[in-house]
Structure 1
Protein backbone atom coordinates (compact mmCIF):
# COMPACT_ATOMS: atom_id res chain seq x y z
CA UNK A 1 0.00 0.00 0.00
CA UNK A 2 1.17 3.52 -0.77
CA UNK A 3 -0.16 6.94 0.03
CA UNK A 4 -1.04 9.07 -2.97
CA UNK A 5 1.77 11.43 -3.94
CA UNK A 6 -0.23 14.46 -2.81
CA UNK A 7 -0.86 13.15 0.73
CA UNK A 8 1.35 14.70 3.41
CA UNK A 9 2.03 13.03 6.75
CA UNK A 10 2.75 14.90 9.96
CA UNK A 11 3.43 13.37 13.36
CA UNK A 12 1.45 14.83 16.25
CA UNK A 13 1.52 14.41 20.01
CA UNK A 14 -1.26 11.84 19.67
CA UNK A 15 -0.46 10.03 16.41
CA UNK A 16 -0.37 11.34 12.86
CA UNK A 17 -2.30 13.55 10.51
CA UNK A 18 -2.74 12.72 6.83
CA UNK A 19 -3.39 15.82 4.73
CA UNK A 20 -4.87 15.66 1.24
CA UNK A 21 -3.10 18.59 -0.39
CA UNK A 22 -5.63 18.68 -3.25
CA UNK A 23 -8.69 19.17 -1.08
CA UNK A 24 -7.30 20.44 2.20
CA UNK A 25 -9.04 17.62 4.09
CA UNK A 26 -7.13 15.84 6.80
CA UNK A 27 -7.47 12.62 8.75
CA UNK A 28 -6.20 12.01 12.28
CA UNK A 29 -4.64 8.63 13.07
CA UNK A 30 -4.45 7.57 16.70
CA UNK A 31 -1.35 5.67 17.89
CA UNK A 32 -2.76 2.26 16.94
CA UNK A 33 -3.64 3.57 13.48
CA UNK A 34 -0.08 4.81 13.10
CA UNK A 35 1.29 1.31 13.86
CA UNK A 36 -0.95 -0.18 11.19
CA UNK A 37 -0.32 2.46 8.53
CA UNK A 38 3.45 2.44 9.07
CA UNK A 39 3.53 -1.35 8.73
CA UNK A 40 1.50 -1.24 5.53
CA UNK A 41 3.53 1.61 4.04
CA UNK A 42 6.70 -0.35 4.83
CA UNK A 43 5.40 -3.15 2.60
CA UNK A 44 3.67 -5.38 5.13
CA UNK A 45 0.46 -7.14 4.23
CA UNK A 46 -2.62 -6.95 6.42
CA UNK A 47 -1.63 -10.09 8.38
CA UNK A 48 1.72 -8.52 9.26
CA UNK A 49 -0.04 -5.29 10.25
CA UNK A 50 -2.26 -7.34 12.58
CA UNK A 51 0.86 -8.90 14.10
CA UNK A 52 2.45 -5.47 14.55
CA UNK A 53 -0.67 -4.23 16.30
CA UNK A 54 -0.96 -7.22 18.65
CA UNK A 55 2.72 -7.01 19.55
CA UNK A 56 2.45 -3.29 20.35
CA UNK A 57 -0.89 -3.20 22.18
CA UNK A 58 -3.00 -5.46 24.35
CA UNK A 59 -5.56 -6.40 21.74
CA UNK A 60 -6.81 -9.77 20.57
CA UNK A 61 -5.90 -10.97 17.11
CA UNK A 62 -9.57 -10.95 16.08
CA UNK A 63 -10.05 -7.35 17.22
CA UNK A 64 -6.77 -6.29 15.58
CA UNK A 65 -7.79 -7.95 12.30
CA UNK A 66 -11.13 -6.14 12.37
CA UNK A 67 -9.45 -2.82 13.17
CA UNK A 68 -6.91 -3.24 10.35
CA UNK A 69 -9.66 -4.11 7.86
CA UNK A 70 -11.76 -1.11 8.86
CA UNK A 71 -8.79 1.27 8.68
CA UNK A 72 -7.63 -0.01 5.28
CA UNK A 73 -11.17 0.21 3.90
CA UNK A 74 -11.46 3.77 5.21
CA UNK A 75 -8.17 4.81 3.63
CA UNK A 76 -9.25 3.32 0.30
CA UNK A 77 -12.72 4.86 0.44
CA UNK A 78 -11.19 8.26 1.18
CA UNK A 79 -8.89 7.82 -1.81
CA UNK A 80 -5.76 8.32 0.28
CA UNK A 81 -3.94 5.18 -0.85
CA UNK A 82 -3.07 3.27 -3.96
CA UNK A 83 -2.58 -0.48 -4.20
Structure 2
Protein backbone atom coordinates (compact mmCIF):
# COMPACT_ATOMS: atom_id res chain seq x y z
CA UNK A 1 0.00 0.00 0.00
CA UNK A 2 1.29 3.45 -0.92
CA UNK A 3 2.21 5.97 1.74
CA UNK A 4 -0.35 8.74 1.99
CA UNK A 5 0.12 11.99 3.82
CA UNK A 6 -2.63 13.28 6.10
CA UNK A 7 -5.05 15.65 4.38
CA UNK A 8 -3.57 18.65 6.19
CA UNK A 9 -0.03 18.01 4.92
CA UNK A 10 1.21 19.94 1.88
CA UNK A 11 4.37 19.09 -0.04
CA UNK A 12 6.69 21.12 -2.25
CA UNK A 13 9.78 20.06 -4.17
CA UNK A 14 12.88 22.23 -3.82
CA UNK A 15 16.38 22.15 -5.24
CA UNK A 16 17.48 20.48 -2.00
CA UNK A 17 14.73 17.89 -1.48
CA UNK A 18 11.16 18.21 -0.30
CA UNK A 19 9.41 20.46 2.19
CA UNK A 20 6.37 19.23 4.10
CA UNK A 21 3.97 21.59 5.88
CA UNK A 22 1.68 20.27 8.57
CA UNK A 23 -1.08 22.86 8.27
CA UNK A 24 -2.60 21.82 11.61
CA UNK A 25 0.48 22.71 13.64
CA UNK A 26 2.29 25.04 11.22
CA UNK A 27 5.37 22.81 11.50
CA UNK A 28 7.66 22.47 8.48
CA UNK A 29 9.74 19.42 7.69
CA UNK A 30 12.65 19.73 5.27
CA UNK A 31 13.55 16.39 3.72
CA UNK A 32 17.04 15.94 2.33
CA UNK A 33 17.55 14.03 -0.96
CA UNK A 34 17.73 10.65 0.84
CA UNK A 35 14.48 11.25 2.72
CA UNK A 36 12.87 12.56 -0.47
CA UNK A 37 13.77 9.36 -2.30
CA UNK A 38 12.36 7.29 0.56
CA UNK A 39 9.08 9.21 0.53
CA UNK A 40 8.80 9.11 -3.28
CA UNK A 41 9.35 5.34 -3.29
CA UNK A 42 6.75 4.79 -0.58
CA UNK A 43 4.22 7.13 -2.22
CA UNK A 44 4.64 5.21 -5.48
CA UNK A 45 3.52 2.04 -3.71
CA UNK A 46 6.87 0.59 -2.69
CA UNK A 47 7.36 -0.87 0.75
CA UNK A 48 10.17 -0.14 3.18
CA UNK A 49 12.38 -2.81 1.56
CA UNK A 50 11.93 -1.12 -1.83
CA UNK A 51 12.78 2.25 -0.29
CA UNK A 52 15.91 0.73 1.24
CA UNK A 53 16.88 -0.73 -2.15
CA UNK A 54 16.37 2.66 -3.81
CA UNK A 55 18.58 4.43 -1.26
CA UNK A 56 21.36 1.85 -1.60
CA UNK A 57 21.22 2.09 -5.41
CA UNK A 58 21.24 5.90 -5.50
CA UNK A 59 23.59 6.86 -2.68
CA UNK A 60 26.92 5.61 -1.35
CA UNK A 61 25.44 4.02 1.78
CA UNK A 62 25.46 0.50 3.16
CA UNK A 63 22.22 -1.48 3.34
CA UNK A 64 22.07 -1.60 7.15
CA UNK A 65 22.33 2.18 7.44
CA UNK A 66 19.79 2.69 4.65
CA UNK A 67 17.33 0.37 6.37
CA UNK A 68 17.72 2.24 9.67
CA UNK A 69 17.15 5.56 7.90
CA UNK A 70 13.97 4.29 6.21
CA UNK A 71 12.59 2.83 9.44
CA UNK A 72 13.41 5.96 11.43
CA UNK A 73 11.89 8.36 8.88
CA UNK A 74 8.65 6.38 8.64
CA UNK A 75 8.42 6.13 12.43
CA UNK A 76 8.98 9.89 12.87
CA UNK A 77 6.40 10.79 10.22
CA UNK A 78 3.89 8.38 11.76
CA UNK A 79 4.51 9.72 15.29
CA UNK A 80 4.08 13.30 14.04
CA UNK A 81 0.76 12.48 12.37
CA UNK A 82 2.03 13.26 8.86
CA UNK A 83 1.01 9.85 7.51
CA UNK A 84 -2.69 9.11 6.96
Q: TM-score range, shorter-chain basis?
A: over 0.9
Q: Deviations over 1:2-31 (max 9, x none)?
A: 101111001112111000112211101000
Partner of 1:45: 47
Cα distance, 1:52 vs structure 2: 0.7
Quick one: distance in 1 between partners of 2:54 and 2:10? 23
Moved more, 31-40 or 7-16: 7-16
Quick one: distance in 2 between partners of 1:14 and 1:38? 14
Partner of 2:57: 55
| Secondary structure at 1:2 match in 2 | coil
Unaligned runs of 5+ in 1: none
Partner of 1:76: 78
Q: Does residue 27 of the first structure (1) align with residue 29 of the second (2)? A: yes
Aligned length: 82
Unaligned runs of 5+ in 2: none
Superposed CA RMSD: 0.8
